[in-house]
Amino acid sequence: MTTDSRSRFTLIDILRVLGGVLLLNAFFSWWFTSTPTWGYRGKWMDTNYLKYRALGNDVNMTLSELSQYDGTDKKLPIYLAIDGEVFDVSASANIYGPGGAYHDLSGKDASRVFVTGCFRKKDEYTYDMRGLDEKEVNEDITSWKEFFHNHKKYWHVGVVQHEPITGDPPEPCEHIKFPGMHH
């Protein structure tokens, strides 16, 4: 092979081959999984997540700022907080947006109701954990934070500043325990 013929293998050729491989890959992926990504639909396909990863600018919000992110405003992402940690759960607008089964959890830090499961009692939607069993709180909150951290479609976006707790703690309620369901 002469130097001459080698130099004819240009960047365009490389791009052409690469493009062909990618196209073939997408074609087969579509053929077998009806998606161009071999069935993957997680957060790495979400432009908002990619933007967040690229910029890395965590939020540090007040509770009143957080309350705007409950899915009512379609232009904003949906956030929920647990133990002061804020997660983007926009991928499940059907669950956390208006009309969703767990809409009441979004736009706030409702750590308490994650432990008690007393969803019908309005004053449970708080981070006031007074009166609850400390061990149970630690276990449940840790496991829910892990759930949101490790979820394939949700991600941690930053923190919310808690305001000091005032007044009486919520009255005790009948805990719901569903071992193994979400933990």
Per CB under 6 A, residues contacting ligand HEM are: 92, 95, 101-102, 105, 114, 117, 176, 178, 182
Give the DSSP letter string of 54-74.
HH---EEE-HHHHTTTTTTST
Instruction: Give me the DSSP letters along 86-140.
Output: EEE-GGGHHHHSTTSTTGGGTTSB-HHHHHH--TT-GGGSSS--TTS-HHHHHHH
Measure CA 21 to chain center: 33
Q: Which residue(s) pair with 79 in the sheet?
A: 88
Residue that the structure tokens 């394939």 belong to = 152
In a 13 Å sphere around the CA of 175, the CA atoms on its Cβ side amount to 13
Distances from the Cα of 8 to the Cα of 4, 17, 159, angstroms: 7, 15, 56
Paired with 86 in beta bridges are 81, 158
